[in-house]
Amino acid sequence: MTDILFEPLVSSANKFECTDWQARDLNYLTPMPYSANWSQMGAYKTSTGLWLLERKKVHDSIIITSKVGKGAYYSDFYKCLPESWELYNVGIHDCTLRIEDYESAVDLDTLLKQDHKHPRVYLIHYDAFTNRANKTSANRNGGMGLLDRLKLFGEWDAILIDEAHRIKNRDAQWTKNIKKLKAKHKHVMTGTGFVNNPAEIWSLLNFLNKPKWGSYWAFRNYFCDQYIDARGFRMIRGILPYRLEEFRKLRKTLGPRHTMAKVHAGIEHPVESVHEVDLNPIQKRMYLEIKATLQTLDQKGETLQSPNVLSQLNRLRQISVATPEVLSRGFDPSMNRTVYDIRLVDPSSKLDEVMSILSELDEPDQKVVIFSNFKDPLKLLETRFKKADIPYIHMEQSHSDQQRYNLWHDVFPKSSVKVFMSTLALGGESINLSCAQYLIFLDRSWSPAQMKQAIGRVYRPGQKGAVEVIYINAKKTVDGYVKKKLDTKDKWFNEIFGD
């Protein structure tokens, strides 16, 4: 590759300045071969991670993040690092040199074999580490997939994993494949640590230091309070009380945790409220009918496997949001349950409540973010917004990395668009929606970590006023059960990560 003449990319006025507490963190983390940043969302983990690469004097490094999360690095890279540093956006099929909003196609194989004078950072999203992605890229690159080429490079100077709770599942393809990469330095960043239970932290520790944290079951049996449920599954109900301080100490020795309240004392803590709604008659009748059908298997005394129960509960969560239109139904012997193919349609009490909330906003320039775990309700809201002439953005999976970045970074904060909406899985992390004053959840995730991440999109640096977080609950539905589960998991989180 020919030498590139770097024009001034970011003025000195737009450069980020390292705070005193970040400087202390960097002094502590720099000599460590493996480390973690457990700070809350909005506590500058991205900039701290980039400065850590510079402090460690790395030459070749990888940053792994979500597709949406790439936008944060597009925005912050040259605000933190010298202009001589090179940022490469690596996809399954292509690789581009990125300079602010300019991209130039380059050949990844040539880069990996090439001697170079300037430090290089390769930005890669999680989906690129699945077996399918490796096979797909192999078909396009002479039989060698992206993962194979990254492994062939040898030992990287550093690997940083952003949103590191995504490698919680030790059996997931991308977790296993990421752990196959070798590096002199490893650093994980997550504001949540775990998603479902404290034992998931083991997977992060195993990535950082496999010789020390080689056995999942040894870690789980040592730290976790467990019991055998009626189905014979070994379940976790928290940390063993006499191991709690040891667990907290372990977490602290790996790296810092800063809270939004400490880092940004001037930003008001969110005000949370719950809006209870009754299912409309049609919705209620369908909910009770499908609920009764799902329960018949258990009433017959047949054993329900854990994934089966969860899928049934998730079906009820969908129906709590909007009216189900049953496209087909049938009994599946392999799953031991009645299987429904549905789509969500109007009427919907929850969507009625959303329209009511929007109509009562005092100021015309107040912006609202709406999250749901399901796609159908957001499509129904699109129809309602068009009819009511409410300008909105619906960020979807079909959008490219650049389109998503443009929607949340440019269009939403800089235009008259009133509403930004997305699924929790897509928009609930790694983006900045601090221009909004209201956040509405149509339904809750099973994970308090995912809920905290989503709130952190709005409650973060750049927020000028108080944020109101609104949960819309359907009375006498599975919504109440999900809330109780979240409260239990939140208690575990506060035990480990609380001040």
Q: Which helix (H) or strand (E) holds 337?
A: strand 337-345
Residue 5 placed within a domain = no
Give the mean model confidence (pLDDT) for residues 35-61.
93
R_g over Cα of the chain: 24
Q: Which of 98-102, 384-388, 457-461 has the lowest mean pLDDT?
A: 98-102
Q: Which pLDDT value is given to residue 4?
A: 43
pLDDT at 141: 65
Lowest mean pLDDT among 79-93, 423-437, 445-459: 445-459
Question: Do 218 and 103 belong to one domain?
Answer: yes
| pLDDT above 90 as % of the chain | 52
Q: Can you give the residue range of the structural domain that contains 357? A: 271-277+347-497
Indicate whether 309 and 324 sit together in one domain.
yes
Q: Answer with the residue of higher pLDDT: 44 or 340.
A: 44
* Whether residues 320 and 355 fall in one domain: no
Average pLDDT over residues 46-52: 96
Residues 252 and 305 in one domain: no
Q: What is the pLDDT of residue 301?
A: 42
Per-residue confidence (pLDDT) for residue 297, from 0 to 100: 46
Q: Are residues 293 and 429 located together in one domain of the fold?
A: no
What 8-state DSSP symbol labels residue 278?
Answer: P
- Beta-carbon contacts of 313 under 8 Å, excluding residues fewer than 6 positions away, are 478, 481, 482
Mean pLDDT to the nearest integer, 1-23: 65
Interhelix angle 375-388/306-321, rounded to 10 degrees, is: 10
Q: Determine phi and psi for 42, rounding to 5 degrees.
A: 85, 5
Q: What is the per-residue pLDDT for 3?
A: 41
pLDDT for residue 331? 64
Domain boundary among 291, 319, 340: 340
In a domain, 1, yes or no: no
Shared domain for 422 and 325, answered yes or no, is: no
pLDDT-based confidence at 300, cuts 50/70/90? very low
Is the confidence at residue 7, as pLDDT, over 50? Answer: no
- Residue at 2 is within a domain: no
CB 369 within 8 A of CB 420: yes
Residue with the bigger pLDDT between 157 and 432: it is 157
Give the pLDDT band of residue 438 (cuts 50, 70, 90). very high
Are residues 444 and 483 in contact, defined by beta-carbon separation less than 8 angstroms? yes
- Give yes or no: residues 317 and 354 share one domain: no
Is residue 471 within 8 Å of 272, Cβ to Cβ?
yes
**pLDDT tens profile 253-284:** 999 998 877 887 777 888 999 999 999 888 88
Band (307; pLDDT cuts 50, 70, 90) = very low
For residue 414, how many other CB atoms are within 10 A of its CB?
Answer: 9
pLDDT at 356: 95
pLDDT of 121 higher than 70:
yes
pLDDT category at 368 given cuts 50, 70, 90 is very high
Tokens describing residue 148: 């194979």
**Residue 478 sits in a domain of what CATH number?**
3.40.50.300
99 with 169, same domain?
yes
Say if residue 8's pLDDT is above 60.
no
Q: Considering 315, 340, 365, which residue would you say is the last residue of a domain?
A: 340
Last residue of a domain, one of 313, 340, 367: 340
Domain for residue 314, yes or no? yes
Task: Tell me the C-alpha to C-alpha distance, in Å, between residue 250 and each of 48, 177, 244, 254.
Answer: 21, 26, 10, 7
Q: Is 24 inside any structural domain?
A: yes
Q: How many domains does the chain have?
A: 3
Q: Report if residue 264 sits inside a domain.
A: no
Q: How far apart are CA 377 and CA 362, in angstroms?
A: 25
Is residue 54 pLDDT above 80, yes or no? yes
> Helix, strand, coil: what percent of the chain each, to 5?
45, 20, 35
Q: Highest mean pLDDT: which of 10-14, 68-72, 216-220? A: 216-220
Is residue 426 scored above 70 in pLDDT? yes
- Measured between alpha carbons, how far is 276 from 431 in angstroms, rounded to an integer? 29
Q: How far apart are CA 18 and CA 57, in angstroms?
A: 17
pLDDT tens-digit map of 192-249 = 877 778 899 999 999 999 999 999 999 999 999 998 877 788 888 888 999 999 999 9
pLDDT mean across residues, the chain: 86
Is residue 4 in a domain?
no
Tell me the average pLDDT across 10-17: 69
Residue 156 and residue 129 in one domain:
yes
Q: How far apart are CA 390 and CA 371, in angstroms?
A: 17
- To the nearest 10 degrees (0 to 180), the angle between helices 216-223 and 201-208 is 130
More confident residue, 145 or 286: 145
The confidence band for 330, taking pLDDT boundaries of 50, 70 and 90, is low
pLDDT value for 275: 95
Provide CB contacts within 8 A for 63, sequence distance 6+. 49, 73, 121, 122, 123, 124, 159, 160, 161, 162
pTM exceeding 0.85: no
Long-range contacts of 475-480 (CB under 8 A, 24+ apart): 475/276, 475/277, 475/278, 475/279, 476/279, 477/279, 477/287, 477/316, 477/319, 477/320, 478/313, 478/316, 478/317, 478/320, 479/317, 479/320, 479/443, 479/444
Considering the domain architecture, whether residues 296 and 419 belong to the same structural domain is answered as no
Average pLDDT value for residue range 364-390: 94
Tell me the two tokens of residue 473: 């609950």
- Fill in the DSSP letter of residue 170: T
Distance, CA of 119 to CA of 105 (rounded, Å) = 18
Does residue 118 form part of some domain? yes
Residues 325 and 221 occupy one common structural domain: no
Based on the fold, state whether residues 156 and 46 are members of the same structural domain. yes
